[in-house]
Structure 1
């Protein structure tokens, strides 16, 4: 290969790595509809990945193509599992899948950015990103358990029919009211400074990699700056009084939340998973000291873990 040909190929590879990020954007845009139309959304996401794979393989990024192919394979299996299940019975599983796919898209995007900067698609780079697919591999359809649905038990007394000899039979004792099962709620579990926090998943829009912020004068002391997320500008707040300061801000994540139509974000060191927490284990927060305690409404204490429950609504009200 001549120097001119080599230069042309590198230009082509760089342009491919940049242009292919559009497929990540396409997939990300349809992801919020996953819980409503999982099969349709997965088809669109897989189509985006397939186009992306063709692009990177065409310019010689074989390891990246292998990485995307592995994602396609796992999504095909997931689609088959979902197709055999009633969607309304796996809502929590689909929310978890949406979170996992959001993380995968971030990984693919970062992989492409690395390629556009270095133009070196190596086995070691593939090894760096492959472990990020483990959560996607372990995902499985989990139907809502029957014992989690609280049935209303009738308290009406049931009488026996009158026997042929017209003697009135004794009433059967009223049905005993079943003890209400503990309520469970779904949270995004995050870790910062070694402590685990729970954020109501109904308030979470997505989790993204930390990006450069635009610093502006503000009326809030905790405003770190403004972040442009796919054309939408939103405030990023510094909640270190609650979470503790991130050890490495550039490697942190931003949790994007929505409260009554107001979108904002805050940094966190690690977003772990979406999980159910038993409300019966919640204790009102009267233990923590300091200014940040007002954002932690409850503490979930169980044998396995202690989670600080964040009241996201209070962030806006602060």
Structure 2
């Protein structure tokens, strides 16, 4: 497995007594910001992601903040995760903090989804956190201390329309992380379930849009960019790191997420019916000849709407800052 290294990667464990943090999915977006926040708080950080080019850019961006090294790892593969944890434990130092952020988003009506969409979502956002936590857990339990954070979503508490694979995986991640927190009670190791709402990370550029891809982009990208709907990702990263280091069982990051969870708890049937009505307002599935999956950049180009471009201005700025 390839490895991209920053200068601290050659240090032996005894050369630096700063705590070691691993951020899986930390090469861009929210993961990059969490890595930066951990560096600012005195951690040595190992950033892991699938893409070597993204890791090189992350190293250049993060190196001014503290000792960072980057390694390629696909969280979908438990063997790669195991090798990563073993390498870090033996060549960097004991892992004190693990945060799993890696995720994929597919926005499409259910008629345009295929089983692979669910498999990719589950492998990345459900099995990924399980692979990571269960691999690092024996090391942390042996030492009697450790912090595990799993970035889930409001989509793991309330299933939004046109995001069914995403919600399916995030519901699984919430169940795993919340149950793990209870199971670890009294051990000195904690698990934090991180529940963000929409954040301005610029992640809409990497999202995948199916069905009528330009039309799906036209509602999703503004929602992930407008300040009254989405929140500043830098502030979110600070709150996430606060919660993980403090060992809090759960942190809900946005007022809309907080509201959605409580409404769902009080009136689950009504919530589902309302979301069904919202889904009927979203784009219909096109005929087979009109369906073509696209990432955010291609969908925006195909849409060609200056109005939507204006609505996503803050999201585009965030994408450039956060290497999306």
> With structure 2 as the length reference, what TM-score do the two structures score?
0.26
Of structures 1 and 2, the one scoring higher in RCO (CA 8 A, sep 6+) is 2
Larger helix proportion, structure 1 or 2? Answer: 2
